[in-house]
Amino acid sequence: MLKPIKGDFYNEVNEKGRQALFQFMIDDNLFNSLSSVVVSVDKTFSTREVFKNNPRAKPLFDSLTTTTVGTILPDFTEKYG
């Protein structure tokens, strides 16, 4: 998953010829590693699942029926019944 870092923006030795003790670099490997973890999560989150334990959201979810949505989006009712 990780690729070697190649570049001219760092020095392995200083001007006296001594090797560097420590170098810290952030490159695209960090972003690629984090994004691959996020993309590989195999879970679908729905709004209903996230907010179902919130009592303030109950009136909203009670009104989410095909009848209510169908008055705003008639194509939805035709497609899903």
Per-residue model confidence as pLDDT tens digits over 19-32: 877 777 777 777 88
Does 45 reside within a domain? no
Cα gap 18→6, rounded to integer Å? 20
Does 43 reside within a domain? no
At residue 7, the pLDDT reads 66
Confidence band for 5, pLDDT divided at 50, 70 and 90? low
Say if residues 2 and 29 touch (Cβ distance below 8 Å).
yes
Q: What are 41-72's pLDDT values in tens digits?
A: 766 667 777 788 888 888 888 887 778 878 88
HSE-up (13 A, CA, CB side) for residue 62: 6
- pTM, full prediction: 0.32
Does 18 reside within a domain? no
Total number of domains in the chain: 1
Does 13 reside within a domain? no
Does 46 reside within a domain? no
Does 67 reside within a domain? yes
Does 47 reside within a domain? no
Domain that holds residue 61: 54-81
